[in-house]
Amino acid sequence: MFAVLRRMRSLEAAAGSTQPRLLVAAALVRVLGFSGRALAGLFDDELIARLRTARGESLPPAVAAELPDWLWLRLSAEHGEEEGLRLAQALANPAPLDLRVNLARASREDVLARLEADGLEARATPHSPAGIRLAGKPPINRHPLFKEGLVEVQDEGSQLIAWLLAPRRGEMIADYCAGAGGKTLAAAALMRGTGRIYAFDTSPKRLASLAPRAARAGITNVHSVVLAAGQDARVKRLAGKLDRVLVDAPCSGFGTLRRNPELKWRYRPEAVDELVAKQGRILAAASRLVKPGGRLVYATCSLLEAENEAVVAAFGAAHPEFVPVSSEKLLEGQRIALTTGEYLKLFPHRHGTDAFFGAVFERRKA
C-alpha cells in the first residue's frame, strides 16, 4: 500500500510496531481517514483509539520527514533542517498527473479545449510550454488524445529537461540513457520530425517500449540502439559528430518519491556511492559524441549533491574542453522563467514537479 510506503516512519511511531498489519491499520486511520466504525471488527478497538489520538509534534526529524536516518542526514545537511523537512514532506504526498502535448502535431490550447469539452478538469503547467496538469487521476490512456499520440504522460520537470537540451530542426542528437524514451520523444517533438535522434540504452527491454510510443506520436526520426558492453562500435563512429547529447543518468530516483516511495527504503548509502561512480563514467563516455560547439546536458531525478553537483564538478575539472552554460539563461531564451541559477534544480515544494537536476556544457570550438 502506497500510504504505508510514503509515511512508514510516522505510522510505525503511531502504531508502536513495525508489523505490516498494524501499519496498514495506522495508514487507514491516520492517512486515509477511516473511522473506527468503518474498521470495526477488522482491528482491535484499543488499537484504533490509540492511533486516533497519537500525536506527531515531538517526532524526531527523520521520522517527521518520513525518511531513513541516513537519507535525512544528507538532505538536512544539504538544505538545512527547515527546508529539508518541507522538501521531504512534499515528497511524501502523491504527485499530480501531468501530460506533455506533442507540439509537433497539436497546440496546448487545442488539447486543453478538447479535455474541457470531454469534462476533464485541466490547466496549463506554469513552467513547461508543453505541459498540462489534470485534476485527479482520470484514465487518460483511454482518451482519444492519448491514443492519437497528441499527449504523453510526463511530469513537468521531466519535460523541462528537453527544453534544456533545446534541439533544433535538422540536428543530430542522442539520448544516451534513453530508457523507455520519455525525454527522447519530448526532444523529437521539438525537432518537428526533422534530423535524427539516437536513443541509446544498455537494456533491450527498456528500449522496446519506445518504438510503439514513437509510432503513436507519429515520430519517425528516432533510431534505437542497444549498447553493447565496453566500447560499442556504433558509438565510436559517432564520436565528435553530434550536435547535442543528453545524459539522463541512472540514479537513485529520490526526486520521484511522490511516485515511487519504495525507493527510499530500497537504497543504502553504499548503493548511492556506486551510482555516483557509474554516473561519472557514463557522462565521460557520452561527452565523446559531442562535436565542437555542441551541447552536453547531464540530468538526474536525484536530490543528492553527490549525484548532481559533485558529478558535474568532477567532469568539468577533468574535461576543460567543456564549458559550463547557465541553465537559467538557456531557459530564459526560450521564454521559460525559472530562477534556478547555473543548474536547473526543481523541487516539489517549490515548483510542484518531481525533483530534477540539470547541468549544461558546451564543447569548445577548435
What residues are labeled active site? 301
Q: Which amino acid is at 118?
A: D
Q: CA-CA distance, 206 to 51, in Å (whole number)? A: 43
**Residues contacting residue 203 through CB under 8 Å, at least 6 positions apart:** 179, 226
Q: CA-CA distance, 286 to 77, in Å (whole number)? A: 31
DSSP 30: I
Q: CA-CA distance, 83 to 365, in Å (whole number)? A: 41
Q: Which amino acid is at 79?
A: H
CA 155 to chain centre: 7
Residue among 263, 247, 246, 258 nearest 354 (CA): 258
Q: CA-CA distance, 227 to 244, in Å (whole number)? A: 18
Are 136 and 343 a contacting pair, CB within 8 Å? no
Are 95 and 151 a contacting pair, CB within 8 Å? no
Q: Please report how many Cα atoms fall inside a 13 Å half-sphere around the Cα of residue 81, on the Cβ side.
A: 5
Residue among 92, 71, 67 nearest 307 (CA): 71
DSSP 117: H
The dihedral over CA atoms of 290, 296, 301, 306, expressed in degrees to the nearest 10, equals: 100
- DSSP per-residue string spanning 227-285: PPSSS-HHHHHTTT-EEEEEEE-----GGGTTT-TTHHHH--HHHHHHHHHHHHHHHHH
Q: CA-CA distance, 291 to 216, in Å (whole number)? A: 32
Q: Please report how many Cα atoms fall inside a 13 Å half-sphere around the Cα of residue 10, on the Cβ side.
A: 21
Give the number of other CB atoms < 10 A from CB of residue 152: 22
